[in-house]
C-alpha cells in the first residue's frame, strides 16, 4: 500500500473531517501517479485516512477514515449510503419525478464523483483520476445496488478532467438521451451533447418557486439553457416568457421542451443573443427577471473579475424589472461565497439606483448535500429580490 506522511500539525483539519489534503501539508510520500490509492499518516506515523492521489494543489481526496481498499464491496457500500439519503429525501424515481442527483462528491463522502439519474439512465462524472480509474467498479456497484435496473450508465468525464486522452463513453447500455420528469414536467436530456450531465438538477426547488410567482406575469429567463425556468413559468400560467441564451443549441432545446409539454408556443419567445447586450434595452419591462449565468469564476485568480461581472449583470437585471417585480439571481461560482454574493448584489442595487428587498435566500437542492466540514460545497447561491 502506498502512503504519504503529513507535516506536524497538518492532521488537525483532516481529523476534523475536511475531505481534502493539500500538497503543502505533505512532508513525504511514495512515488505515485494521479489516481493511485494511498494511506495517509501523521508525523507520528498514526493512520489518518485513505484516498486518491492527485497531482494538483489537492494532493489527496479522502474517501475513507479506515484502512480499506476500493474494491467492489467498498463502492457498493458508498452507493448504498447515497441511495439511503435519497430515499430519506423522497428523491426517488416515480411517475411524477424521475430525475435527481444520486452522488454529490464531497457531500456524499465520495470526493470527485457525480452521478445523476434521469429515468432509468445514470450519468457519471469523474472530477478526479482515482474516480476515473475506478469507473468500471463504480458501474458494477450501481448495477448491483440500485433496486431498479439502469438501462444506461454513461461516463462524461472528458471536460471535468481537462484531458484530451479521456473519452466520454457508454459504460452500460446505449442511450445518449431521454425524456426526464420533474414535478410532472418533461424535459429532454441529452448527456452526450448537453452541458454538465445534461440538465441542471440543483435548481429543482428554485424552478418551483419561479412557477409559484409566474401566473399572469411576464418572465424573462436569462442564460436559459434548456428552458427549465421558462417551462415552469409557462406551466404556471405566465402571460409571456422570453428565453435568452447565446447558444443557438440551448435556445432550440428550450423550444423543444416548451413543445414537449404542450404549452402555448405563442407565449414563448426564444432569443439567441448576448445576455448583457440584450438587457441594456430592457428597462422596466418584465414582472420577473431570472439571472442564472454559468460560473463567472472557477478559481481564485478570477474572483475579482467575477465580482465585477456579477455586479454589472445584476445592475442591468434590476433595471429590467418593473417596479414591484421580482429578480431571481444566482451564482454557481464556488469561490464566490454567500456574503460576497449578497454584497455584490447590494453594490449592483446602489449602481442602478433601485431600492430592493430580499424575499428569499436560495441554494442547491438537498440531493446536492453539503459536507458539514467542507463548506466550499455550498456552491449555488440565490436571492429573490423585490425591486421598487
Active-site annotation, residues: 332
Query: For residue 342, what is its C-alpha cell?
Result: 449578497
Report how far residue 346's alpha carbon sits from residue 325's, in angstroms, rounded to the nearest whole number. 17
Report how far residue 127's alpha carbon sits from residue 134's, in angstroms, rounded to the nearest whole number. 12
Helix (H) or strand (E) holding 260: helix 248-260
% helix / strand / coil in the chain, to the nearest 5?
A: 35, 30, 35
370: Cβ–Cβ under 8 A, 6 or more apart, which residues? 107, 364, 377, 378
Query: For residue 13, what is its C-alpha cell?
Result: 483539519
Reduce the DSSP state of residue 134 to 3 states and report it: coil
Angle between helices 228-235 and 204-213 in degrees, nearest 10: 40
Using H for helix, E for strand and C for coil, what is the string for 310-365?
A: HHHHHHHHHHHEEEEEEEEEEECCCCCCHHHHHHHHHHHHHHHCCCEEEEEEECCC
Report how far residue 227's alpha carbon sits from residue 249's, in angstroms, rounded to the nearest whole number. 11
* Strand locations in the chain (E): 2-6, 20-22, 26-29, 37-41, 47-53, 58-64, 99-104, 113-118, 121-126, 152-155, 169-172, 177-182, 185-190, 218-222, 240-245, 268-272, 286-291, 321-331, 356-362, 381-387
Please say whether the beta carbons of 259 and 227 come within 8 A.
Answer: no
Reduce the DSSP state of residue 275 to 3 states and report it: helix
Strand partners, 186: 181
Task: For residue 45, count CB atoms less than 10 angstroms from its CB and return exposed for 0-12, middle for 13-18, buried for 19 or more.
Answer: exposed
Identify the DSSP state of 293.
P
Amino acid at each position: 500500500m502506498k502512503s504519504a506522511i503529513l507535516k506536524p500539525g497538518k492532521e488537525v483539519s483532516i481529523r476534523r473531517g475536511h475531505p481534502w489534503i493539500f500538497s503543502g501539508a505533505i512532508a513525504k510520500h511514495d512515488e505515485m501517479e494521479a489516481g493511485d490509492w494511498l494511506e495517509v499518516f501523521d508525523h507520528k506515523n498514526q493512520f489518518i485516512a485513505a484516498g486518491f492521489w492527485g497531482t494538483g494543489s489537492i494532493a489527496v481526496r479522502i474517501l475513507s477514515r479506515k484502512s480499506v481498499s476500493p474494491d467492489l464491496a467498498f463502492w457498493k457500500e458508498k452507493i448504498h449510503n447515497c441511495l439511503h439519503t435519497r430515499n430519506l429525501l423522497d428523491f426517488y424515481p416515480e411517475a411524477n419525478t424521475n430525475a435527481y442527483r444520486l452522488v454529490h462528491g464531497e457531500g456524499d463522502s465520495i470526493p470527485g464523483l457525480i452521478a445523476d439519474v434521469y429515468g432509468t439512465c445514470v450519468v457519471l462524472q469523474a472530477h478526479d483520476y482515482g474516480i476515473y480509474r475506478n469507473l468500471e467498479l463504480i458501474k458494477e456497484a450501481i448495477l448491483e445496488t440500485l433496486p431498479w435496473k439502469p438501462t444506461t450508465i454513461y461516463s462524461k468525464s472528458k471536460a471535468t478532467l481537462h484531458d484530451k486522452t479521456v473519452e466520454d463513453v457508454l459504460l452500460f447500455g446505449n442511450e445518449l438521451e431521454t425524456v426526464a420528469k420533474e414535478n410532472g414536467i418533461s424535459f429532454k436530456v441529452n448527456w452526450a451533447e448537453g452541458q454538465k450531465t445534461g440538465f441542471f438538477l440543483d435548481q429543482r426547488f428554485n424552478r418551483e418557486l419561479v412557477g409559484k410567482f409566474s401566473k399572469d406575469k411576464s418572465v424573462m429567463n436569462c442564460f436559459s439553457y434548456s428552458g427549465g425556468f421558462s417551462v415552469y413559468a409557462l406551466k404556471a400560467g405566465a402571460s409571456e416568457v422570453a428565453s435568452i441564451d447565446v447558444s443557438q443549441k440551448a435556445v432550440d432545446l428550450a423550444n423543444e421542451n416548451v413543445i414537449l409539454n404542450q404549452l402555448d408556443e405563442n407565449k414563448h419567445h426564444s432569443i439567441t443573443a448576448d445576455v448583457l447586450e440584450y438587457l441594456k434595452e430592457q428597462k422596466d419591462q418584465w414582472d420577473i427577471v431570472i439571472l442564472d449565468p454559468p460560473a463567472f469564476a472557477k478559481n481564485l485568480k478570477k474572483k475579482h473579475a467575477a465580482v465585477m461581472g456579477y455586479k454589472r449583470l445584476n445592475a442591468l437585471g434590476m433595471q429590467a424589472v418593473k417596479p414591484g417585480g421580482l429578480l431571481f439571481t444566482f451564482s454557481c461560482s464556488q469561490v464566490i461565497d454567500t456574503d460576497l454574493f449578497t454584497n455584490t448584489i447590494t453594490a449592483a442595487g446602489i449602481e442602478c439606483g433601485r431600492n430592493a428587498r430580499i424575499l428569499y435566500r436560495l441554494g442547491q437542492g438537498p440531493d446536492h448535500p453539503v459536507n458539514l466540514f467542507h463548506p466550499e460545497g455550498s456552491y449555488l447561491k440565490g436571492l429573490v429580490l423585490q425591486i421598487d
